[in-house]
Amino acid sequence: MNLVYQFSVNLAQINKSKTLPRVDSVDAVMAELTRRGIDAFVPAASYENVGRRVSFIQDPEGNVIEFAQDLE
């Protein structure tokens, strides 16, 4: 079972939602969020098997936002 899928299943079990905006550059988005004082919940990583680079943050209520970038 892949890590991203398992992470989504675990969120559902604790009643948290996940939002998935697609972005041109996960690294640029995370750099800007870090500059603004928002740390990654899960650091950026590439998953070649699904063709995506992703990173996660959490809002104050614990909901997760996953930024995703298609790998070329």
Map out the domains of the chain as residue ranges. 3-70
Q: State the pTM of this model.
A: 0.73
Could you give the 3-state DSSP secondary structure of residue 16?
A: coil
- Residue 34 Ramachandran class (φ > 0 left, ψ -120 to 50 alpha, else beta): alpha
Chosen CATH of 3-70 out of 3.40.190.10, 3.40.605.10, 3.30.720.110, 3.20.20.80: 3.30.720.110
Task: Write out pLDDT tens, residues 10-64.
Answer: 555 555 566 778 899 999 999 999 999 999 988 999 999 989 999 999 888 888 8
Q: Check residue 13 and report its DSSP letter.
A: H
Nearest to 43 by CA among 18, 59, 23, 26: 26
